[in-house]
Structure 1
Amino acid sequence: MDILKNLFYGFPDLWGGGVAHSVLILALVITLGLSLGKLRVKGVSLGLAWILFIGLIFGHFSLNLDEHLLHFLKEFGLILFVYSIGLEVGPGFFASFKNGGKSLNLLSIIVVALSIVTTLAIFSFSGTSITSMAGILSGAVTNTPGLGAAQQAFSDLRHIDAPSIAAGYAIAYPMGVLGVILSFIILRYALRINKSEEEAAAKRGMGHLEAMTLNTFSVKVTNQMVFGDTIKQMREILKRDFMVSKIIRKDSDKHDEVVNGQTKINEGDILQIVANPTVEEPVIALLGEKVQVSEEKFGEDLITRRIRITKPGINGKSISQLQIRSNLGANITRVNRNGVDLIATPHLKLQLGDRVTVVGTELAIAHTEKVLGNQMKRLNYPNLIPIFLGIMLGCIVANIPFFIPGINENLRLGLTGGPLVVAILIGYFGPKYNLVTYNTISANLMLREIGICIFLACVGLGTGEQFIQTVASESGMTWILYGVAITMIPILVGGIIGRYVFHINYYTLLGVLAGANTNPSALAYVREQTSADAPSVGYANVYPFAMFLRIVTIQIIIFVFG
């Protein structure tokens, strides 16, 4: 019995209660939390937040870790989590501000600003401490890195921890999940949405996602002004990006011609074209008329295959540098990167892990596979150097002081902001300078999930003693109402602005609002409502910048009002 008691409460003669005790408590909290996280009510789950709740219960009954060990594990878990997020969003971080992404990110900025204004308004009129409000804000927008950033900022500023931050987060988190979904339901009726029309428009990629959507269509050449012109000349006339993947020659049975810039088009030819929705109409107007052609009519000589880039030597090279079309007789028509399809223009630089769509003969594609890799085993080995090098640089950047007018203290990005900034920069600039930063989705997800699980468990264990008293008090009930206001007001106002000011498609709008709140549960709810990819694309487009804003702004709030 003494052995069991010591395993749960610690061995008194060992530092930190002993390794076995520390690992047991941490693993038990995470295991129970993950198990409960699988529970769903009408498709909605609190997910990893259950780890925090189980940690709070363990902490309340003094089933805890050594204070210093708990602090180290919490910070280390947070660093792993934030850094893996930075590596994931880095490649698309700056690209998300181009074309249609500008309006979507502007709306996310408005939603983030509204949540901050709501928080500060409640802080001014209620007299609630800024640490409690920072925790409520993080929970209301389901932003766990924001929780870590607020704790780190207050620790740097006052050199003590603030348990009320975690308590506020835990109290507001459940309604942060449910409040967004309730807001979406209200918006549907308030905006008088016709779901079938919105879904049809979303599937066509119309609106703000036009620049991030690729359509495949066929055009018959009937305009005599372009008879005998080359594909290159067509691009120069239109000044737009598009790819011709296959061609059917009039009065010819050959279907093995690989199209390139020097290919001439003639009357009656049928071209299969890959382009953004905005380019479709100009291409049709230039060439002739849009026709419906089954894939079988293009013949069986040319096949289409997706190839994964797994050779490190390809990383950072443009499509024109590879000369696949001229040397191998195959044609790259599109590139899928982080779930978004890109036009395979000659100047587009490829990255390790990209999936390229290649058109050519069986033999040509076989040769192309050898050049690009397409061997998943090579990607199964994680690239650890960028991870640990980046974490090291992140810790250095985290402690570089900077100044904000009106604040007497030297400010720092901290162990949340530093690794995040470095990871984004490495993820974006790494391929440009031939630094291989790619890790498989599963490897990056494993790193991220381990980090956040350790962090949430430690936060719960460290604040469990005060949490029960807070929830049971009158202030705990009031905090829930504050959290509901911080969750729903920005979503409802942002939804109206996004619809009537930016004219965003309904399903894209919901994805953007879920991304602005960094709320994957809300995204899962929206995805169940439609078969279109618009919610996921909208979410992915604003998520990187919204995450960055959430982490940075909550630190500024602590520094200014803490």
Structure 2
Amino acid sequence: MLDYLATQPLLTLVLILALGLALGKIRILGISLGAAAVLFVALGLSTLNPDLQLPPLLYQLGLALFVYAIGLEAGGDFFAQFKSRGWKLNVFLALLLVFLSGVAIVVVRALGLDHEIGAGMFAGSLTSTPGMAAMVNMLNSSDPAQSSQPVVGYSLAYPGAVIGSIVVAAVGAKLLKVNHHRDAKSEGMILDPLMWEAVRLRPGIDGTVGDLRDITGQQIIASRVIHGDTDHQLALSEHPLEEGMILVLNGTAEALEAAIDILGEKVHVTLDSNFLRYTRVTVSNKAVVGRTIEELNTASKGFLIVRARRGDRDEVPLPTDVVHYSDRLRVVTTHDRLPEVRKFLGDSERSLADVDLLPFFIGLFLGLFIGIIPIPLPGGNVLTLGFGGGPIVAGLVLGALERTSSVRWQIPYHANRTISTLGLSLFLAGVGTKAGVGFRDALTDPSSFKVIGAGLIISLLNAVISAAICMPLLKLKWDEAMGVAAGMTTNPAVISYINGQSGTELATRGYATVYPTAMIGKIIACQVVLILLL
């Protein structure tokens, strides 16, 4: 059977993907490998039959798709966070990466490890798939016979990297008696449910509806102006505030209470749908995607956006918030304008499924071009960002831009996740079959335990140092510090476990803030480590 599969690469590819993704769903102690299990299925099959190989172009394309999609998704948040607190975390991460690179070089030489396997161990200790790919690419051009060795070291160190990070996160939370919910709430990561209240304005409140946030200092938005019992109007931003006016406000209970204390007195009203209609509309119209709510000027089209549901969380939108594909917006409008509102925003699942891939591949081409630009190093060496680093740089920039004139770089959330998972799976299947011979030899070599141990040391150092520095110096809570450590690994299994353990998204904030820098930095660091070891 294995001999037959060696002659059928397409059949082999699909089998590896199916078995790997199925294995990745199995949870042991709350941990699952996800798409990473594809690597171990590919390794296992190629270890049994070294002739079972997949073309190099396959893993190159897969990795490029994966990192470019990640860059598109993370770009906006990365640059937004970078301006405030993000730069501090990223400087810390860069220094930590330099330190861990030095540790890796010392450990490899002290233990007498094969240099190519040792370099792969470093990539595996931080689960840097693109970094390992960059080393494979370097060796392909200089020493093809050794190009599979980094994959062996990576595969041996990878499990310990995942387990080590998770053990530190779990044990540390127990020892420090971390209150995950309280920490997340104090950091503004847990929002109270949104609700509405009506307020009758007291004398002396001057300005317009658009000034309510500045007047109250609260994150609220007005949806209706009510005169008497029957006159319900949209609360347009230019509407002047008057004594006795009744406004319907949206926000959290705490924000509404504070705002009403300033504005006047709470009153009971009935939001009769005969006057105005509340409804959810999903954004699918490419003409509005990438524009701010202020730019859309929805009031001129007869509706207001009073809530935005992104992911699993409702938020009161700001005028500067950018509208994305798949956003679920709660709008207020009249009955007769509702069809126009739906048409303007899209509200079409079919449109979301018909993804325009032309901008995606234009951006991917730009990323691949960036990846081949040589970066000179002292001693006559050069490194490149490669087909892993170039696309993520392009993805980050284009993801932050959202759109350039009529070109919309973003793609719907679900499409992005599908492409990134497919790309990662293709890469792991291709590179896994490449390392079969070397992995089989490593399994029978006692020195492999040195590789596993060295990788575990580096993984534990990453998590422990992240907590030891980020908590006292950068004032992070435990979960966010562990999110930074997980961001260094760029491993979804690690952050998934931490989120499951904490029940909050606080770790995700640290993870997302440093993820792009970690992804790019490890690609460069892995190549530098390999060059210094050779």
Residue of structure 1 aligned with 2:357, choices 384, 387, 408: 384
Q: Does 1:8 align with 2:8?
A: no
Amino acid at match of 2:291: K
Confirm or deny that 1:480 pairs with 2:456.
Answer: no
Asked if 1 retains the 8 angstrom alpha-carbon contact of 2:50 and 2:436, the reply is: no
Is 1:59 the counterpart of 2:46 in the alignment?
yes
Deviation at 1:93, TM superposition (A): 3.2
Once the two structures are TM-superposed, the CA of residue 303 in structure 1 deviates from its matched residue by: 4.7
**What is the CA-CA distance between 1:285 and the residue it aligns to?**
7.6
Alpha carbons 1:207, 1:504 under 8 Å: kept: no
In the alignment, the residues of structure 2 paired with residue 23 and residue 452 of structure 1 have an alpha-carbon distance, to the nearest angstrom, of 17
Q: Per-residue displacement from partner, 1:151-172 (whole Å, max 9, x unpaired)?
A: 2234346566432211111111
Residue type of the alignment partner of 1:526: I
- 2:467 matched to 1:470? no
Q: Pick closer, same or farther for the CA change 1:499–1:30 going to 2, 3 Å.
A: same
Distance 1:28 1:185 in 2: 35
Scaled by the length of structure 1, the TM-score of the pair is 0.82
Instruction: Name the residue aligned to 2:237.
Output: 261
Alignment of 1:196-207 (within 5 A): 198-202=180-184, 204=185, 206-207=186-187
User: 2-side partners of 1:478 and 1:273: how far apart?
Assistant: 59
CA offsets, 1:393-426, max 9 Å, x none? 333222222323x241233222222222223333
Q: CA deviation at 1:127?
A: 3.7
Aligned positions of 1:15-54 closer than 5 A: 21-54=8-41
Are 2:487 and 1:515 aligned? Answer: yes
**Structure 1 unaligned regions, length at least 5:** 11-20
Please give the per-residue CA displacement for 1:336-372, whole angstroms capped at 9, x wherever unaligned.
5577877633344434443333234444444322211
Q: How does 1:345-364 map to 2 (within 5 A)?
A: 345-364=318-337
The number of equivalent residue pairs is: 532
Q: How does 1:135-150 map to 2 (within 5 A)?
A: 135-150=120-135
Q: Which of 105, 108, 112 is the matching residue for 1:123?
A: 108
Match of 1:171 in 2: 156
Residue matched to 1:18: none
The residue type equivalent to 1:200 in the other structure is: R
Judged with a 3 Å threshold, the aligned counterparts in structure 2 of structure 1 residues 270 and 430 are, in CA distance, closer, same or farther, namely closer
Q: CA, structure 1 residues 365+410, in 2 after alignment: closer, same or farther (shift >3 Å)?
A: same
Letter in 1 for 2:340: H
The reply to whether residue 402 of structure 1 matches residue 370 of structure 2 is no
SS in 2 for 1:257: strand
1:423 alignment counterpart: 395
Structure-1 residue corresponding to 2:528: 556
Cα 1:256–1:136 shift into 2, 3 Å:
farther
Indicate if the aligned counterparts of 1:220 and 1:268 stay in contact, CA closer than 8 A: no
Q: Which residue in the other structure is 2:467 paired with?
A: 495
Distance 1:336 1:548, change over 3 A: farther
State which drifts further: 124-133 or 408-417: 124-133
Q: 1:217–1:31: structure 2 CA closer, same or farther, 3 Å change rule? A: closer
Distance in 2 between residues matched to 1:320 and 1:432, nearest whole Å = 18
Are 1:185 and 2:165 counterparts? Answer: no
Q: Secondary structure at the match of 2:331?
A: strand
For residues 434 and 354 of structure 1, the distance between their equivalents in structure 2, rounded to whole angstroms, comes to 20
In 2, Cα distance between the equivalents of 1:378 and 1:385?
A: 15
- Percent identity at matched positions? 26
Counterpart in 2 of 1:16? none
Alignment of 1:289-328 (within 5 A): 300=273, 302-328=276-302
Q: Decide whether the 8 Å contact of 1:430 with 1:437 is kept in 2.
A: yes
Alignment partner, residue 249 of structure 2: 272
Distance between the aligned counterparts of 1:537 and 1:254, measured in 2? 46
1:428-467 deviation line (CA, Å, top 9, x unaligned) = 3251433123333333333223322222222222211121
Match of 1:245 in 2: 222
Name the SS of the counterpart of 1:39 in structure 2. Answer: coil
Q: Secondary structure at the match of 2:435?
A: helix
C-alpha RMSD of the superposition = 3.6
State the AA in 2 paired with 1:50. A
SS at 1:314 equivalent: coil
Gap change, CA 1:432 and 1:392, over 3 Å in 2: closer
In the TM superposition, residue 134 of structure 1 has moved relative to its aligned partner by 2.8
In structure 2, the residue matched to 1:370 is 343
C-alpha distance after superposition, 1:260-311 (max 9, x if no partner): 323315469565344899x88985785479x8x99x8656555543322211
Q: For residues 162-199 of structure 1, what are the alpha-carbon distances to aligned partners after superposition, in whole Å with 9 as ceiling and x for unaligned?
A: 32211111111112221111101221134332x2xx40
SS in structure 2 at match of 1:333:
strand
Report SS of the residue matched to 2:354: coil
What is the rounded CA distance, in whole Å, between the counterparts of 1:226 and 1:119 in structure 2? 67
Alignment of 1:96 onto 2:74: no
Taking a change above 3 Å as real, the CA distance of residues 217 and 51 of structure 1, as seen in their structure-2 partners, is: closer
TM-score with structure 2 length normalisation?
A: 0.85
179-188 vs 55-64, which moves further: 55-64
Which amino acid letter does the alignment assign opposite residue 174 of structure 1? P
> How much has 1:375 moved relative to structure 2?
0.9
Choose which of 208, 229, 233 in structure 1 pairs with 2:207.
229
Residues in 2 aligned to 1:256 and 1:482: alpha-carbon distance in whole angstroms: 69
- In the alignment, the residues of structure 1 paired with residue 478 and residue 486 of structure 2 have an alpha-carbon distance, to the nearest angstrom, of 12
1:486 deviates by 1.2
- Report 1:436-475 matches (<5 A): 436-475=408-447
Alignment-mate amino acid for residue 221 of structure 2: V
CA distance in 1, matches of 2:349, 2:182: 36
Letter in 2 for 1:478: K
Residue identity in the other structure for 1:380: A
- 1:228 and 1:27, CA in 2 relative to 1: closer, same or farther beyond 3 A? closer
